[in-house]
Structure formats: structure tokens, C-alpha cells
């Protein structure tokens, strides 16, 4: 017999390889159990490489791959699962980091949670039509996965199933899917489209974005989307992690139809610079904007009542935010590490400040806790290294561990009420604790409290009160236009000025006593009784006297509304505001100098120069700013005559007076807090809430009030 040549032998071997598939891995490479005539693979002890799971062992079918069988089998390069297998259990192939391909048999019905988690070399996967469920995190962190085919029987895609598949560019959801759980395709950084079979009854897609079928819920925006995106009208809910880690999106427009934001809805949108939340939203969910490191401003509507845990965590570019008045709680780490935040106004109505809420807000310089707050959580303001002072409202009963720890620039913390309980290291040196003389539970002045020295808090006299006799309280006063009469109750009656003059009382010589004064617009005359006469301004100007340079005396000043000019004699000339604005100057930051400010009734905007911008009130309201909580700084406030509403931002809402009354707030009882009060010209009634009711003046008189 002739010998076969070498070429002939090779040909035979090649043909045999085609006709006969490679053999399954030896059963000795596996640990297994047999139950009811079926084999379950429970462990793998083979060398790795290309592994083919046998369909039969000991003559019985292999039907199940148990949990963690191939866990961290880093030598495994490919896996073939036979048609006999019906289920792949949780973590079966987790962290098989060299696995590049997988063949799933046509009888598998479920892929367990984390089944292929962190198979970072896996490039593609085809899920057969037999599979009905893809478990949570099943392909989580498969960073080389470029394509996935989802079979036509899959009904469920679990939470985070394809999370952080950073090479995946597109995916199509078949018509069989009825449940897509949260974050299923989150952090797929180059995924630009999630398509849905039009026959699907539960889900739909528009411009590559995943919605429910009726497109009222936005479920997932693919993380590879870039530029600007406008959410369609009619969407009412933005789902959990819907825009999470959309790092290329620069702007997102939310329609007024949206009423709900899911947790982590916009977290990690690192290129997003600003966003406006529509008026129907009531809650900012946990982590909603966490890690939005380019976000500089956000507008929250008045409808918001709660700010969730870590809602703005690590928004390192956020410089200011206005918390709506309806908010009652500020959650755990809500503003943690907002390192550019320089000021924050906590509204009256907030009752609790969560743990770590403002931790490491390293540019925050001062904070006032309103009287509504009862508790300040652990480390709430810890390591706010620029914080120099804090004022604590009179309802606070507990301060958590390290609440102000690490605030090494803080020299004083001012308590309006009784001594609260406190945790370990609540305050750091060099802070001094200031308490009022009437509050209870404090040690004697000079003794330690919370390991810090105590001192008496004596609130300085207020230069904005109309104190005509120097007793530290505002006096009731009227100006009778027809005769130029000034009548100050219990102090003086004097004639000064005429019917064309406007009253401009103030302490112009720094003696602590208010002088009578008038501004005559026809000539620009300022006449301050017993002090000075000067010409400054014209008939179209509004007089705005006050201490604008902090020297303890009132300065002559005007607001020219047709150009927005503020001219303060001997101090400054600046343009701020315009023809539609009302002057709203005041002592808003408590630094003893009057701040230039305007109120824009059309929008309710308060713009206080170099202090704040916020929206509060409307065009039908009379503005009544003042220091209603006694912390030395003014609050914005409005009086709504139609209902008698007094709304003082961050302090109180109450009803006092009516449509024919003029608001006359001032400190009438000397407690360093402005009192709500009205003057009823028809009867001469002065009604000061909680203080007095007096008749002084009549229908031809004007109340002398700021």
C-alpha cells in the first residue's frame, strides 16, 4: 500500500476539522452535581482558554450553570454554552477579564444578575430568542462590548444590565420587552441611540431617547448625546438616572409639563452649565444634580418643598442658589462640596438641615439659620473654611457632632434662643459663642459652652429706625402735607416743608437721633432740620438716603428710575436697575452699610447689588424689607394689601391689615426686630402687631416710615 504524502494528510485533517466540531472540554475540568437526572455545573477547575461546556456528563444533560462558577477566571478567553443549558445563574462569569467571545445556547431562558459583570474584553454578544430575562448588572462594565443583539423573547432588562458599556454605540429593544429597569444603559459613554421596535407596547424611542409608549416618561437619554436637548412637550416625568453621565450635553430644556424628577436624573452631567426647573415640580430627588461640576446656576420653582440627599453634591461651580420658601427639609449632603457657593439663604419653613448638608462649601462666608429650624445635623457645615459667622434661630434644639467643625475662620456664632443640645466637636477654635441676655440654659458669660468661650450678644442699634428721641425705638410720626406739620408722638410737633416735598428723615450727623428732613424735587433741595441744606437731584428722582459708606451717618442719595442711576452724594454713582424697577435699598448683608437694590414687580425680582438676586412677590405687592429676625441683616418682604398678607422671606408669613392700609414696619418695642405694622389713614390708626394700637394722625396725613 502506498504511503499518503504529507499534503494528503493535512487535507484529511482539515476535512475532519470541518466535519467534526471541536470536542467539549473534559468533564474533569468541572465540578458538578446531579439532581433528578440533570447536571448542574457548580465549579470550574480547568486551565482556561477556549472552554466548551459539555452538553452531557455521565450520560445526563447539563442544564444549569450555578452562581460564580467561573468567577475571576482570568485565563478564560471564550465560552460556548450548549443548547442543553436553560439558566445561567448570578455572577457565573463575573470578572472573566480575558473573555472575548461567548456563545449562548438556544435553550437558555434567563441570564442571572452580574452574570458577565466586568468581562472587560468581551466585544459582542448575541442573546438568543429563548432568553426571557436579562438580570441586573448582567453585562455591567463590559467596556469592550461594541454590539449586542437582544433576542425577540426577552421581556425584562434588569437594573444596570449594560451599565458602563463604554464601547456600545447603539442598541435595539425588541417588541417583546415589557420591563426596562433603572440605569439599564447608563454610562454607556458613546451610546447615541436606544431604538425600540415600533410594535413594542410598553416603550418607544424618539431621536434615540428611550420613553414609555405614550412618551409621558423619559426613561433614558443615551450618554453619548451631545450639544443641546429639548425634552418634548407632554413629558410629565423624568426617570431615575434618565440623563445620568450625559457628559457631552451642554443644555437641557425641560417643558412645563414635567412634574417629577427621578433620583440621579441629571447626575454627572459635567458639561451642563445651567438649568431651569418648571413650576410643577415639588421635589428635587436624591443625587438629582450630583457631580454636575460645570453647573453655575439653577432656578428652582416655588413649588419645590424638599431637596433630597446629595441633590447638588459636588456641584463645584455653583455660585448661588435660591431655595424656595416652601422647602421644609434639606437632605443629607444636599450641597456637600459646592466649593464655589458664596452665599445661601435658608428660607423660613425649613425645619431640619441634614447631615453633611453644606460640608466643605469652602467659599461660604456666612449663614443664617431661620427660626423654623429645630435641628442641625452632624457635620452640616463642617470644613466651611471661609465661614466667619453664623446666626442660629431661636427654635434650634439640637446641633450634631462636628456641625461647624473645621470652620477655622469662624470667629463668632450667634444664638438667638435658648441653649440647644450639642454633639462632639460641634465647633472649632477660634469661635466665640454669643448668646442673648434673655435666653435660658446658657452658662455665665465667659464660661465655656461646647468647649468654646461665651459672650453676650448685644445687637447694635439700628440706623434705619426713625428714632427721634434716641431711646432705641421707632417713633410714630406723621407729615401733614397741607401745612408741613411734623408730629412725632410723645416727642415733638414742628412745621418743616410744604405740600410738594417728600420726607427724608435720617441720622445725618451721627448722633443716634433721627433728624427731620425734606426733599424738594422741583429744585433738588435737601433740607435737613438743624443740620444741612444741599441741592442734589431733580424732580424726576426718588430720594434714597442712607449710610452707604458705613461712617455712621446718613448720606444724601437719589435713584433716577428712567436711567437706573444711583447717585449717592460724596460716595458713588452707579447704574443699577431701570424704568420698570422700584428702589429697594437696605441693609441686607448686615455690614452696617446700605446696599443698593431694586424690585422688579413684573417678575418679582429682587436685585441687591453685590448681595443677592432672588424672586419674591409680584407687581401688586408693596415691598417691606427689614430685619424681622433680629440678626442685623434685612430680609426681603412683601405686603399684599388685597389679602393683608405679610410674607417675610425666611422668617414668617402672616395676615395683618387690609387693602386701604399702608405698611409701616419698624422696631417699635426696642427688641432689635422689626415689627409688622399698618397705618390706616381714614382713621389715623397705627396697629403694630403684638405691640400696640394707637390713633395718631388722620386722613390728610402721611405716615413717616421708611
Range ranked top by mean pLDDT from 103-117, 343-357, 436-450: 103-117
More confident residue, 24 or 280: 280
Cell numbers describing residue 519:
426733599
Residue 2 has a pLDDT of: 33
Q: Tally Cβ neighbours within 10 Å of residue 26.
A: 9
Q: Residues 378-427: pLDDT tens digits?
A: 999 999 999 988 889 889 999 999 999 999 999 889 898 899 999 999 99
Residue 464 has a pLDDT of: 60
Residue 680 has a pLDDT of: 94
Q: Residues 312-353: pLDDT tens digits?
A: 999 999 998 888 878 999 999 999 999 999 888 788 789 999
Query: Which among 237, 239, 233, 243 is positioned nearest to 219, based on CA atoms?
Result: 239
- Mean pLDDT along residues 187-199: 97
Q: Residues 84-112: pLDDT tens digits?
A: 999 999 999 999 999 999 999 999 999 99
Q: Is the pLDDT of residue 233 over 50?
A: yes
Indicate the average pLDDT of the chain. 91
Residue 7 has a pLDDT of: 35
One-letter-per-residue 3-state SS of 574-622: EECCCCCCEECCECCCCCCCCECEEEECCCCEEEECCCEEEECCCCCCE
pLDDT category, 11, cuts 50, 70, 90? very low
d(CA 634, CA 624): 10
Segment (H or E) for 677: strand 677-680
d(CA 259, CA 292): 21
pLDDT category, 62, cuts 50, 70, 90? very high
Residue 176 has a pLDDT of: 98
Q: Is the pLDDT of residue 22 over 50?
A: no
- Mean pLDDT along residues 269-286: 94
Our CA dihedral for 128, 129, 135, 138, rounded to 10 degrees, sits at 20
pLDDT category, 274, cuts 50, 70, 90? confident
Residue 598 has a pLDDT of: 96
Cell numbers describing residue 322:
435660591
Percent of the chain with pLDDT over 90: 76
Q: Are 513 and 507 in contact (CB under 8 A)?
A: yes
Which residues in 290-315 are b (16+ Cβ under 10 Å) and which e? bbbbbbeebebbeebbbbbbbbbbbb
Q: Residues 643-672: pLDDT tens digits?
A: 999 999 989 999 999 999 999 999 888 777
Cell numbers describing residue 483:
401745612
Domain boundaries, the chain: 361-458, 477-703
Q: Is the pLDDT of residue 224 over 80?
A: yes
Q: Residues 584-622: pLDDT tens digits?
A: 999 988 777 899 999 999 999 999 998 889 999 999 999
Cell numbers describing residue 113:
444578575
Q: Is the pLDDT of residue 3 over 60?
A: no
Cα atoms in the 13 Å half-sphere on the side-chain side of 388: 4
Structure letter (DSSP) for residue 404: B
d(CA 110, CA 92): 12
Residue 15 has a pLDDT of: 34
Residue 13 has a pLDDT of: 34
Q: Residues 236-261: pLDDT tens digits?
A: 999 999 999 999 999 999 999 999 99
Amino acid at each position: 500500500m502506498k504511503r499518503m504524502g504529507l499534503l494528503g494528510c493535512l487535507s484529511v485533517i482539515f476535512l475532519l476539522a470541518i466535519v467534526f466540531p471541536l470536542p467539549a472540554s473534559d468533564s474533569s475540568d468541572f465540578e458538578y452535581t446531579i439532581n433528578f437526572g440533570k447536571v448542574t455545573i457548580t465549579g470550574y477547575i480547568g486551565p482556561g482558554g477556549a472552554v466548551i461546556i459539555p452538553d452531557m456528563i455521565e450520560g445526563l444533560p447539563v442544564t444549569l450553570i450555578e452562581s460564580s462558577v467561573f468567577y475571576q477566571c482570568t485565563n478564560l478567553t471564550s465560552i460556548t454554552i450548549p443548547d442543553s443549558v436553560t439558566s445561567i445563574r448570578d455572577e457565573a462569569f463575573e470578572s472573566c477579564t480575558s473573555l472575548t467571545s461567548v456563545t449562548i445556547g438556544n435553550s437558555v431562558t434567563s441570564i442571572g444578575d452580574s452574570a458577565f459583570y466586568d468581562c472587560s474584553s468581551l466585544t459582542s454578544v448575541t442573546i438568543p430568542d429563548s432568553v426571557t430575562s436579562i438580570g441586573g448588572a448582567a453585562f455591567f462594565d463590559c467596556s469592550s462590548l461594541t454590539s449586542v443583539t437582544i433576542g425577540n423573547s426577552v421581556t425584562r432588562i434588569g437594573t444596570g444590565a449594560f451599565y458602563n458599556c463604554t464601547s456600545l454605540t447603539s442598541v435595539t429593544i425588541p417588541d417583546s420587552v415589557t420591563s426596562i429597569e433603572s440605569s439599564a444603559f447608563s454610562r454607556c459613554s458613546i451610546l447615541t441611540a436606544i431604538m425600540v421596535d415600533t410594535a413594542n407596547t410598553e416603550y418607544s424611542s424618539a431621536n434615540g431617547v428611550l420613553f414609555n409608549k405614550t412618551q409621558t416618561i423619559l426613561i433614558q437619554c443615551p450618554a453619548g448625546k451631545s450639544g443641546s436637548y429639548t425634552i418634548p412637550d407632554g413629558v410629565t416625568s423624568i426617570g431615575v438616572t434618565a440623563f445620568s453621565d450625559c457628559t457631552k450635553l451642554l443644555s437641557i430644556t425641560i417643558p412645563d409639563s414635567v412634574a417629577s424628577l427621578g433620583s440621579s436624573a441629571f447626575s454627572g452631567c459635567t458639561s451642563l452649565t445651567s438649568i431651569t426647573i418648571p413650576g410643577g415640580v415639588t421635589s428635587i430627588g436624591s443625587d438629582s444634580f450630583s457631580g454636575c461640576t460645570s453647573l453655575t446656576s439653577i432656578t428652582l420653582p416655588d413649588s419645590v418643598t424638599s431637596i433630597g440627599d446629595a441633590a447638588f453634591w459636588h456641584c463645584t461651580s455653583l455660585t448661588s442658589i435660591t431655595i424656595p420658601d416652601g422647602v421644609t427639609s434639606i437632605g443629607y449632603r444636599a450641597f456637600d462640596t459646592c466649593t464655589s457657593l458664596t452665599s445661601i439663604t435658608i428660607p423660613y419653613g425649613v425645619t431640619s438641615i441634614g447631615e453633611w448638608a453644606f460640608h466643605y462649601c469652602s467659599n461660604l462666608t456666612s449663614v443664617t439659620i431661620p427660626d423654623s429650624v429645630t435641628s442641625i445635623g452632624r457635620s452640616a457645615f463642617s470644613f466651611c473654611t471661609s465661614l466667619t459667622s453664623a446666626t442660629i434661630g431661636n427654635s434650634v434644639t439640637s446641633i450634631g457632632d462636628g456641625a461647624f467643625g473645621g470652620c477655622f475662620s469662624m470667629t463668632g456664632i450667634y444664638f438667638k434662643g435658648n441653649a440647644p443640645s450639642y454633639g462632639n466637636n460641634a465647633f472649632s477654635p477660634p469661635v466665640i459663642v454669643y448668646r442673648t441676655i434673655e435666653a435660658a440654659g446658657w452658662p455665665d458669660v465667659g464660661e465655656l459652652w461646647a468647649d468654646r468661650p461665651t459672650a453676650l450678644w448685644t445687637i447694635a442699634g439700628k440706623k434705619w429706625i426713625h428714632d427721634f428721641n434716641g431711646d432705641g425705638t421707632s417713633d410714630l410720626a406723621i407729615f401733614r402735607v397741607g401745612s408741613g406739620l411734623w408730629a412725632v408722638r410723645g416727642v415733638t410737633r414742628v412745621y418743616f416743608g410744604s405740600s410738594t416735598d417728600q420726607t427724608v428723615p435720617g441720622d445725618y450727623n451721627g448722633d443716634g437721633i433721627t433728624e427731620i428732613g425734606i426733599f424738594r424735587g422741583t429744585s433738588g433741595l435737601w433740607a435737613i432740620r438743624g443740620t444741612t441744606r444741599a441741592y442734589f437731584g431733580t424732580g424726576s428722582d426718588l430720594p434714597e438716603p442712607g449710610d452707604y459708606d458705613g461712617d455712621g451717618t446718613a448720606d444724601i442719595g437719589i435713584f433716577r428710575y428712567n436711567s437706573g442711576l444711583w447717585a449717592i452724594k460724596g460716595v458713588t454713582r452707579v447704574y443699577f436697575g431701570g424704568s420698570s424697577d422700584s428702589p429697594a435699598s437696605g441693609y441686607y448683608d448686615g455690614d452696617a452699610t446700605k446696599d443698593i437694590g431694586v424690585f422688579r414687580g413684573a417678575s418679582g425680582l429682587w436685585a441687591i447689588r453685590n448681595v443677592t438676586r432672588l424672586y419674591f412677590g409680584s407687581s401688586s405687592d408693596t415691598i417691606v424689607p427689614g430685619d424681622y429676625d433680629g440678626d442685623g441683616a434685612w430680609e426681603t418682604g412683601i405686603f399684599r394689601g388685597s389679602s393683608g398678607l405679610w410674607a417675610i422671606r425666611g422668617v414668617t408669613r402672616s395676615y395683618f391689615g387690609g387693602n386701604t392700609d399702608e405698611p409701616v414696619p419698624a422696631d417699635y418695642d426696642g427688641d432689635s426686630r422689626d415689627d409688622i405694622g399698618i397705618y390706616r389713614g381714614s382713621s389715623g390708626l397705627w396697629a403694630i402687631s403684638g405691640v400696640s394700637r394707637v390713633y395718631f394722625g388722620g386722613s390728610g396725613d402721611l405716615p413717616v416710615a421708611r
